[in-house]
Amino acid sequence: MKNVIAIDGPGGAGKSTIAKLLAKKLNYLHLDTGAMYRAVTLAAINENIDFDDKEKLIKLAKKISITFNKNGEIILNDKNVSQEIRSSEVNAHVSKIAAVKGVRKVLVEKQQNLAQKNRVVMDGRDITTVVLPEAEHKFFLTASLAERAKRRYQEVKSKNNDADLEEIKKSIARRDKLDSEREHSPLKKAEDAVLIDTTELSIDEVLKKMISLIEGENH
Ligand code: CDP
Ligand code: CDP
């Protein structure tokens, strides 16, 4: 698939940050698929849906409208929820909802449609393996758990909010485990995806590395 870049990896690896910068540089659309699973989770919280009721969750995923505005921000039923989807309540439940096969089916179809109509940089957990296995360029970004937790901690601190590094680390580790061990579309590196460990790298270094690989592969 030409003009399609797929990026997977665990939380805090830098996927969204890098995908956004890459999309800007290449003039592609950035699609943060994690935001889509978060939007379904937020809708389930707002509608008081039991997180164990798979049928209701699937119905909900089909019913709601999830789109992106031109800044790449997520819109749930006409409302910009890009801040709300980052709440600790959404963090706590999103991996459970993302494990429901029928919910994934609804979102994967939307993601594949978007990639057919646009030049995209798409990031998530199953983009290189399930959503766009034929993407022109595939990357798996990762970093140590300690580094990923430190990055999230710094994000919260920079907004002048209280943060507990150990709590953040635990929450990320819990999601890593749920996402990697689930039955449907678990997080794993596609054999042909390029692995980049960003633990010791700056954002700029990661970006340069990826651009040189993309340009190299195109020549
Ligand atoms: O905040 P963080 O970058 O760690 O996560 P995210 O990319 O916003 O994704 C939130 C959650 O959605 C993940 O922990 C997964 O459970 C789920 N997800 C998924 O199952 N498949 C995707 N393609 C993207 C996200
Ligand atoms: O999407 P994902 O959960 O993989 O990560 P993110 O939401 O982009 O968050 C990564 C955080 O680490 C951001 O605050 C970045 O500024 C920072 N960071 C990075 O992305 N890459 C590095 N090489 C170093 C720091």
Position 219 pLDDT exceeds 60: no
Q: Give the pLDDT confidence of 179-193 residue by residue, as tens digits.
A: 999 999 999 999 999
* Residue appearing with tokens 């935001």: 35
Q: Assign residue 9 a region: left if phi > 0, alpha if psi is -120 to 50, beta otherwise?
A: left
Q: Tens digit of pLDDT for each residue in 41-67?
A: 999 999 999 999 999 999 999 999 999
Q: How confident is the model at residue 137 (pLDDT cuts 50, 70, 90)?
A: very high
pLDDT of 118 reads 92
The preferred substitution site among 17, 85, 200 for testing ligand 2, maximizing ligand atoms within 8 Å of CB, is 17
The answer, yes or no, to whether any atom of ligand 1 lies below 6 A from the CB of 95, is: yes
Q: Which of 209, 176, 215, 179 is nearest to 194 (CA)?
A: 209
Residue 105 is assigned to a ligand binding site: no
Pick the atom of ligand 2 nearest to 20's CA. Answer: 8
Q: Is the CB of 38 within 6 Å of ligand 2?
A: no
Mean pLDDT of 27-39: 96
Residue 14 pLDDT: 97
Say what the ipTM of the complex is. Answer: 0.97
Structural tokens at position 142: 């990762």
Beta strands at 66-68 and 74-76: parallel, antiparallel or unpaired: antiparallel
Does 11 belong to an annotated binding site?
A: yes
List of E strands, 119-175? 120-124, 137-142
User: Domains, the chain, ranges and CATH?
Assistant: 4-208 (3.40.50.300)
Report pLDDT digits (tens) over 141-186. Answer: 999 999 999 999 999 999 878 889 999 999 999 999 999 999 999 9
CA distance 27 to 23: 5
Any atom of ligand 2 within 6 Å of the Cβ of 195: no
CB atoms within 10 A of CB 111: 22
* Ordered strands of the 120-124 beta sheet: 29-32, 120-124, 4-8, 137-142, 194-197
102 annotated to bind ligand: no
CA of 16 to the centre of ligand 2 (A): 7
Q: Which atom of ligand 1 is nearest to the CA of 15?
A: 3
